[in-house]
Amino acid sequence: MASIQPGDHKSYMQLALDLAQKSPPKPTNYRVGAVLVDLDTNAILATGYTLELTGNTHAEQCCLIKLAQQHGVDEENLVQVLPSRMALYTTVEPCSKRLSGNLPCAERVRRLAGSLRTVYVGVSEPETFVSQNTGKQMLQDAGIEVAHIPGFEPRILEVATAGHIRDKPNIEA
C-alpha cells in the first residue's frame, strides 16, 4: 500500500472505500470500510470492513475490536492505550442504532472522545434500516467533529447497497 500524505482526506476515504468492497454483499447490511489514523505520526492504526469478523459486525466495530486485540485490552478501555490525536475515516456515517442488538458504532466511537478528534464520512447513513440516524449528533455532543469528504457519494452508495433488493424495471416484450 502506498503511503498516504498527512491530511490527504480523499486518499484515506478511497482506502476506506477499497476496504468496503471486501465486505460480502447482503440485503441486510451496508458494505462499509473504516480506517483509524494517528494524526501525529500519520500511521494507520487499524482498518475494518463490514462482516470482516465473525458475527454481524460493522466496519468501525471490526476496526476497534482488532485494535483492542493488538493492545491486549477490552474495547471499552481502548482509549487508555491509544494516541492522543486520531481521525477515523468511514464510508458511511457511524450507526446510532443496531437492529441486531449489538452496540451501535457511534457509541463505540464515542468511547474514544478526547483522543479521536474527527470522524470523516463519505455519506450520511441512508434510512433503509434505521430512520433518523443520530450518530453524527451523538459524536458531536461528545466533542468529536464529523466532517464530510465530498466526491465519493455515488460510488460509496453503489458499494454500500450491493446485494440489496432493488425494484426491477418493468420490461415488456
Task: Summarize pLDDT for 156-167 with one digit per residue, the tens.
Answer: 999 999 988 765
Domain that holds residue 33: 14-160
| 172 part of the active site | no
33: in domain = yes
Asked if residue 6 belongs to a domain, the reply is no
Distance CA 59, CA 5 (A): 23
Q: In what order do the strands lie in the sheet with 86-92?
A: 44-49, 33-38, 86-92, 116-123, 145-148
Tell me, what CATH number does 96's domain have? 3.40.140.10
3-state DSSP assignment of residue 118: strand
Q: Is residue 3 part of a domain?
A: no
What integer pLDDT is reported at residue 171 of this predicted model? 40
66 belongs to a structural domain:
yes
- The residues pairing with 147 across neighbouring beta strands, listed in sequence order, are 120
Of the listed 52, 60, 107, 125, which one is catalytic?
Answer: 60
Say what the pLDDT of residue 169 is: 47
Low-confidence ranges of the chain (pLDDT < 70): 1-2, 126-132, 166-173
Strand partners of residue 123: 92
Task: Write down the pLDDT at residue 66.
Answer: 97
Residues 6+ apart with CB under 8 A from 151: 10
Domain count, the chain: 1
Question: Does 170 map to a domain?
Answer: no
